[in-house]
Amino acid sequence: MLRYTLQRIIYMLITLFIIATLTFFLMKLLPGSPLKSQDKLTPEQITIINEKYGLNDPLPVQYVNYLGNLAQGDLGLSFQYDNRPVTEMIAGRIGPSAQLGLQALILGSIVGLILGIIAAIKHNTFFDYGATFLAVIGISIPSFVFAGFMQFVLGVKLQLLPVALWEGFSYTIMPTLALSGFVIANISRFMRTELLEVMASDYIMLAKAKGISQSGIIIKHAIRNALIPVITIIGPLAVNIMTGSLVIERIFAIPGLGEQFVKSISMNDYTVIMGTTIFYSALFIFIIFVVDILYGIVDPRIRLAGGRK
């Protein structure tokens, strides 16, 4: 297990280093300079600004400085927002995004698990077909379409919920639902398959032969074992919620990290784009890492084998 964890940490660091390097050089490749929009600057001003951002140094020096700063958690200064540190800008925006993401993940997991369990227990009945149908719909309808549909029906037509903005719990309902649709669909589908597989295994038959009641078997033996593989898809789903929030935050005008990222793209605020990209990537990689390690802890077969096949 220790060896596996170490191996994963090394991979994680390599990936992060590659992302940081790639981001840096891609940003240098970008056409135009951040100062281009302000053509009125005198040459002296440009020199001063270039000096401040370290743009006069040769590229390798800039690269090393950049990596050094990065290691200390310094992501540079924003080009557009009056020299505010990017780290500070990210920190100020993380709240709504984190709340939205966690709400969607928790809601999606709970509803998805319940749907999946019902579908598996009532295999080949109306409930099963209903849940399977819902899952296909949930996977197919993009979150932004779902968001638009809710805004139109619940917000504009029925006026039940606020259409946009971020001023209280009622404002979080629609974006949370929009983000959790995909999670519900995936978890219910996965849980159904896993539970059906477990129910067909020998130890369940043994439990039945011993005379344990159906509900006892399902709660004590089947669900607990079926839950283990479901952990693996939590990581990718969390990543999906985070990328989905880029669009959802824009649609609902939520002052989160995703909304800021999209804005920085349209404003060519390169340091913010770069910083947010690295922050997102690090978070993605970290979530996947935690989920993998968790999986190793929960499932002894993997712990003993010393790594996933």
In the complex, the residues that contact other proteins under the rule CB under 8 A are 11-12, 14-15, 18-19, 22-23, 26-27, 29-31, 136-137, 139-142, 144-145, 148-149, 151-152, 156, 163, 239, 243, 246-247, 250-251, 261-262, 265-266, 273, 277, 280-281, 284-285, 288
166 token code pair: 């971020």
Q: Exposed, middle or buried: residue 72 (CB in 10 Å: 0-12, 13-18, 19+)?
A: exposed
Q: Which is nearer to other proteins, 96 or 138 (CB)?
A: 138
Minimum gap (Å) between residue 275 Cβ and other proteins: 12
Taking the least distance from each CB to other proteins, the nearer of 223 and 292 is 292
Q: Which is nearer to other proteins, 19 or 227 (CB)?
A: 19
Its sign, for the CA torsion 140, 142, 148, 150, is positive
Q: How far apart are CA 157 and CA 150, in angstroms?
A: 10
Strand pairing partners for 77? 85
In the complex with other proteins, the residue whose CB is nearer, 11 or 203, is: 11
Q: Which is nearer to other proteins, 155 or 229 (CB)?
A: 155
223/213 Cα distance (integer angstroms): 14
| Residue 269, C-beta contacts closer than 8 angstroms, at least 6 positions apart | 34, 78, 79, 80, 81, 263
Q: How far is the CB of 238 from other proteins (least distance, A)?
A: 12
| CA–CA gap between residue 309 and residue 223 (Å, rounded) | 24
In angstroms, give the least distance from the CB of 51 to other proteins. 26
In sequence order, what are the beta bridge partners of 85? 77
